[in-house]
């Protein structure tokens, strides 16, 4: 069995656009006409160029190879261009191609990927969602604690037992910084009112996207501690795990981070510094399923848990689910609400979500199939990045 062809899809995500402006999917086919799908997460170039990068890396390093030879192909891609270091763009590309290989391997074996990575540990996976805005909202849901409390109550009624939010923005290319007193007050009021609304029915997950210095993060954390959040997410930028460790030592709230990191080498620094209690690798960026499984095992040794990150499409979501299902130190999985709307339409069969939990699929491979007719009907024609930051200091 040899890898033969690749097809890419740059798919626009219709309103409300939860999960990003677009998704970049790949479909790889073998000489035996078995296909697998993958997805790249937030490679920092315009998406049609990202699709070309996927094609280039496939033809340069993977075409004609046996899809089982993950380690061999991974090392060649990791070392491409005499780099041999964590590269967020290259590993985003590799992640998409690697998960497509696992999809093929699982289909050939007639097994879900989780059975090939150690076997299913969890029959169902606890999930959480962001509080997302509704089209009818007249104000920013993260600037209005009362509206967020209404949304949180709705999500708890649906079955969610954990809810994430980020009232401290904006995110700027010049972070980390000290939050203003007004931002500190709003953040504290948000958490206090949400705790009063949900009580002990749901955990509160406070997101920050690396906005603060370590000193500023500790200052905010002390305001939040009385309301017992499950985690304080990425309080400082991801380039200095030793600064993240200062925050971890300075608060009782567990630190979660990792969505912007890639490969075992970067996560090893987090573990060495004691920077986090919860690792949030994104399967569309971290370097693929096998790389994420290695990181999860490294974390297990340190009694650190994983909570795979998701702000993209459902193919990465499906890969996250395969990893989570076979990982003993899994904590919780990010969902885009209940995987409804376009996240359901883009798949031939939607991801199964029941009363706050994801049910791992039993189908072989990743357990999902891309609906190519829907993908082709929603091309993204713009050149924006998947995510971006404010370009001036806050």
Q: What is the pLDDT of residues 273-317, one digit of tens each?
A: 999 999 999 999 999 999 999 999 999 999 999 999 999 999 999
Considering 309, 343, 378, 386, which one is annotated as catalytic? 309
CATH no. of 115-366: 3.20.20.120
Which CATH architecture is the domain 3-110 placed in? 2-Layer Sandwich (3.30)
Considering 209, 343, 378, 386, which one is annotated as catalytic? 209
Distance of CA 7 to the CA centre of its chain: 23
pLDDT on residue 369? 98
Count other Cβ atoms within 10 Å, centred on residue 376.
10
Q: How far apart are CA 354 and CA 104, in angstroms?
A: 28
Give the residue extent of every domain in the chain. Answer: 3-110, 115-366
pLDDT on residue 86? 96
pLDDT < 50 regions, the chain? none
CB 112 within 8 A of CB 367: yes
Helix (H) or strand (E) holding 78: helix 70-78
Q: How far apart are CA 64 and CA 6, in angstroms?
A: 12
User: Does residue 309 carry a catalytic annotation?
Assistant: yes
pLDDT on residue 232? 98
The β-bridge partners of 358 are 125, 353
pLDDT on residue 266? 98
pLDDT on residue 262? 98
pLDDT on residue 169? 81
Q: Give the three-state DSSP class for 165.
A: strand
Q: How far apart are CA 194 and CA 153, in angstroms?
A: 9
User: Does residue 59 carry a catalytic annotation?
Assistant: no
pLDDT on residue 63? 98
């Amino acid at each position: 069995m040899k890898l033969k062809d690749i097809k890419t899809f740059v798919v626009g995500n219709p309103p409300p656009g939860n999960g990003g402006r677009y998704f970049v999917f790949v479909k790889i086919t073998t000489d035996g006409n078995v296909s697998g799908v993958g997805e790249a997460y937030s490679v920092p170039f315009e998406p049609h160029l990202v699709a070309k990068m996927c094609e280039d890396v496939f033809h340069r390093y993977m075409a004609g190879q046996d899809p089982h030879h993950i380690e061999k192909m991974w090392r060649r891609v990791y070392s491409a261009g005499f780099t041999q270091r964590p590269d967020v763009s290259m590993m985003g590309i590799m992640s998409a191609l690697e998960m497509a290989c696992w999809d093929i391997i699982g289909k050939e074996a007639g097994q879900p990927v989780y059975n090939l990575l150690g076997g299913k540990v969890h029959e169902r996976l606890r999930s959480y969602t962001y509080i997302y805005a509704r089209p009818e909202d007249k104000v920013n849901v993260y600037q209005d604690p009362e509206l967020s409390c209404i949304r949180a109550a709705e999500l708890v009624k649906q079955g969610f037992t954990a809810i994430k939010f980020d009232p401290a923005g904006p995110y700027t290319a010049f972070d980390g910084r000290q939050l203003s007193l007004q931002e500190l007050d709003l953040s504290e009021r948000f958490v206090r009112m949400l705790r009063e609304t949900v009580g002990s029915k749901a955990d509160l997950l406070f997101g920050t996207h690396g906005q603060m210095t370590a000193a500023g993060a500790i200052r905010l954390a002390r305001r939040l501690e009385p309301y017992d959040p499950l985690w304080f997410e990425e309080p400082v930028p991801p380039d200095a795990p030793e600064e993240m460790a200062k925050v971890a030592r300075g608060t009782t709230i567990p630190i979660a981070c990792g969505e912007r990191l890639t490969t075992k080498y970067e996560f090893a620094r987090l573990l060495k510094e004691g920077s986090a209690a919860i690792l949030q690798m994104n399967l569309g960026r971290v370097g693929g399923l096998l790389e994420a499984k290695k990181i999860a095992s490294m974390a297990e040794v340190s009694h650190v848990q994983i909570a795979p990150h998701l702000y993209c499409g459902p193919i990465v979501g499906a890969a996250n689910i395969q990893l989570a299902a076979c990982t003993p130190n899994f904590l919780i999985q990010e969902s885009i609400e209940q995987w409804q709307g376009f996240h359901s339409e883009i798949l031939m069969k939607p991801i199964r979500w029941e009363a706050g939990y994801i049910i791992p699929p039993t189908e072989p491979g990743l357990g999902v199939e891309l609906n190519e007719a829907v993908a082709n009907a929603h091309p993204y024609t713009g050149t924006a990045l998947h995510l971006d930051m404010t370009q001036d200091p806050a």
